[in-house]
Amino acid sequence: MTNNQLTDSGHLRHFLTIEGLKRPLLTEIMDRAEQFSSITNRQVKKVPLLRGKTIMNLFFENSTRTRTTFELAAKRLSADVMNLNISTSATSKGESLLDTLHNLEAMHTDMFVVRHSQSGAAEFIAQHVAPHVSVINAGDGCHAHPTQAMLDMFTIRRHKQHFPDLRVAIIGDILHSRVARSQIQALSTLGVGEIRVIGPKTLLPSDCQTLGVHVYHDIDEGLRDVDVIITLRLQNERMQGALLPSAREYFQCFGLTEEKLQLAKPDAIVMHPGPINRGVEIASTVADGPQSVILEQVTHGIAIRMAVMSMALGSQSELAEGSTP
Ligand code: CP
């Protein structure tokens, strides 16, 4: 996937992957999210930037955080937002994805937000929509989750400011994680000093070294002096065959406990994209502890998604004209 997600002038049309995007664009998304995050503190949490636009949430796979924050983001931008209930839609009667899409397009939809268990689904949809329609990838298979990566970068920037000075460790099931892939691409693009991945061999991609990361199979070594720790869920639904002895043994070897957290820098932050499995990849005392920014990540998801939606629907001129947050 290259940059068919950008317009000829380099603006965001679709947001399908971090891959191929340049640092200024990622920075623009975060800067714009910074403006939008102040809306949350207002009594009226709305701006009229996307008034008259119709946004359709198409979630073919379960979600709590992503679907609700996309919906909230659309509402705060004053768009009309619809959530297609896939289980009660005509897809259960055999309608193809493209037929569903074209019917929804006939309702004058301006944007589709798509989550799907198949890698490449959002890009496929983007290739088949009308020229005025934008597609945002809300997570496709093991491939990408670009808005999650951007809200994670935003959270890191809020706490740590200067990316090149940072040492970031991602622990766990990198192999099946679309979040990890997008995070690694974003961290690299933003010039992070050192990116580490920590996990058992069975849960790390065989081409890990080509991703520009340092690989650790020993959590104690991997956590030493890091500034940011990102823990990941075991993606059991995407595993084929038994890749681990047991969740209990996994926690003993790779679970983030208070003891292991002490190996990182004293001001290290602990992140997790959610959903978290307490006692599997992270101890409750760490997930709920003072260094955890896990719920902040969720909050930042609204501002980041407002930023991406407003950019993709071409609201730059309106922002410049003063209807800013
Ligand atoms: N982080 C994330 O994608 O969570 P959901 O599956 O709840 O959307």
Boundaries of CATH 3.40.50.1370 in the chain? Answer: 2-144+299-320, 146-292
In whole angstroms, what is the distance from residue 296 CA to residue 152 CA?
10
pLDDT band of residue 243 (cuts 50, 70, 90) is low
For residue 301, the CA-to-ligand 1 centroid distance in Å is 10
pLDDT in tens, 80-135: 999 998 877 777 788 888 999 999 999 999 999 999 999 999 999 999 999 999 99
In whole angstroms, what is the distance from residue 236 CA to residue 238 CA?
5
pLDDT surpassing 70 at residue 323: no
Q: Is the CB of 57 under 6 A from ligand 1?
A: no
pLDDT in tens, 54-81: 999 999 999 999 999 999 999 999 999 9
Question: Which phi and psi (to 5°) does residue 204 adopt?
Answer: -115, 140
Q: Is the CB of 199 under 6 A from ligand 1?
A: no
Which CATH number describes the domain made up of 146-292? 3.40.50.1370
pLDDT band of residue 137 (cuts 50, 70, 90) is very high
Which CATH number describes the domain made up of 2-144+299-320? 3.40.50.1370
Burial degree of 248 (CB within 10 A; 0-12, 13-18, 19+): exposed
Atom in ligand 1 nearest the alpha carbon of residue 115: 8
Q: Is the CB of 148 under 6 A from ligand 1?
A: yes
Q: Is the CB of 273 under 6 A from ligand 1?
A: yes
Atom in ligand 1 nearest the alpha carbon of residue 274: 1
pLDDT band of residue 2 (cuts 50, 70, 90) is very low
**Segments in 112-265 forming alpha helices (H):** 121-128, 146-160, 178-189, 219-223, 247-254, 258-261
CA-based max dimension of the chain:
58
Backbone conformation region of residue 110, classed left if phi is above 0, alpha if psi is from -120 to 50, else beta: alpha
**What single-letter amino acid sits at 10?**
G
Average pLDDT for residues 222-243, to the nearest whole number? 84
Task: From 234, 266, 67, 33, select the one nearest 153 (Cα to Cα).
Answer: 33
pLDDT mean across residues, the chain: 92
